[in-house]
Amino acid sequence: MISRPFFSPLLSLDGAIWCFSRMECWSHGFIVKVSGDADQVLAYFAVSKLGEPPVDGKTDTDPEGLTAAYGKWASAVAGRLQAGGLSCKVLDKEAFQKQMLEKLIWISAFMLVGARHPGATVGVVEKEFRSEVSSLIAELASAAAAEKGIVFEDAMEDRLCAYSRAVAHFPTAVKEFKWRNGWFYLLSEKAIAEGKPDPCPLHTAWLKEIKVI
């Protein structure tokens, strides 16, 4: 988790909200559920521990960086991040929502596969359990696209695996279920309740395997 002091000068920007996955957003130190029109920043940088510099979300597939901002203050936030040595691009609403869902797919897929293999870091998942995480990414992407009526850009798996290589040392665990994997599990519950097939059967099976549900 990035420390509050890092955010303080940025969060003063008229309520800009920080998102680390689709529904896990920060406003002045609190996790909040945001509306689609709120100013938002999708952070693809991280700090492994207090006092260390942030690792920017630049990858071999996205050398310009993955962090993105949307809304009234997007350019101002991007400018401050860039002044601090971090990348940030400004996106329109549709592009931002797609990237936000991609980040949710990344954290849900890599954390769940890693949890099946105790001690595995994000990098280990990408290198040693690529087939597992690839299958899960495809499943979650299909479910998210159907739910939101969108079409993701090609090569999502390559982008998400490239980001995993950039933050390879990060540990894995299924945490904050409601804000991450829980979004997909709700889609499963909804479909089953309506007598339809589970759109995320692999995801559901692996959640049961590690006794999260």
Q: What is the mean pLDDT of residues 138-162?
A: 97
Task: Answer whether 14's CB lies under 8 Å from 38's CB.
Answer: no
> Other C-beta atoms within 10 Å of 4: how many?
11
Residues of the chain with pLDDT > 70: what percent?
82
Residue 183: is its pLDDT beyond 60?
yes
The pLDDT value recorded for residue 11 is 42
Confidence tier at 175 by pLDDT (50, 70, 90): very high
Measured CA distances, 51 to 3, 9, 11, 34, 126 (Å):
9, 17, 19, 29, 27
> 106 and 205: one domain?
yes
Structural domains of the chain, count: 2
> 72 and 102: one domain?
no
> 114 and 194: one domain?
yes
The pLDDT value recorded for residue 143 is 98
Distance CA 55, CA 46 (A): 5
Domain boundary pick from 44, 67, 92: 92
Confidence tier at 20 by pLDDT (50, 70, 90): low
Residue 9: is its pLDDT beyond 60?
no
The DSSP element (H or E) to which 186 belongs, if any, is: helix 181-193
- pLDDT one-digit tens code per residue, 21-71: 544 454 333 333 445 567 888 888 877 678 888 888 899 999 999 999 998
In three-state secondary structure terms, 127 is: helix
Dig out the tokens for 30 from the structure.
């609190």
* Ordered alpha helix ranges (H), 20-176: 74-83, 93-115, 122-128, 130-148, 156-166
CATH number at residue 148: 1.10.1040
Domain with 105, as residue range(s), is 94-209
Dig out the tokens for 114 from the structure.
């890693």
Q: What is the mean pLDDT of residues 75-84?
A: 92
> 189 and 122: one domain?
yes
> 204 and 100: one domain?
yes
Torsion-angle region of residue 69: left (phi > 0), alpha (psi -120 to 50) or beta?
Answer: beta
Residues of the chain with pLDDT > 90: what percent?
66
Domain boundary pick from 39, 59, 92: 92
Distance CA 31, CA 117 (A): 29
> 63 and 108: one domain?
no
Task: Answer whether 113's CB lies under 8 Å from 125's CB.
Answer: yes
Residue 10: is its pLDDT beyond 50?
no
Residue with more model confidence, 188 or 56: 188
Q: What is the mean pLDDT of residues 121-147?
A: 98
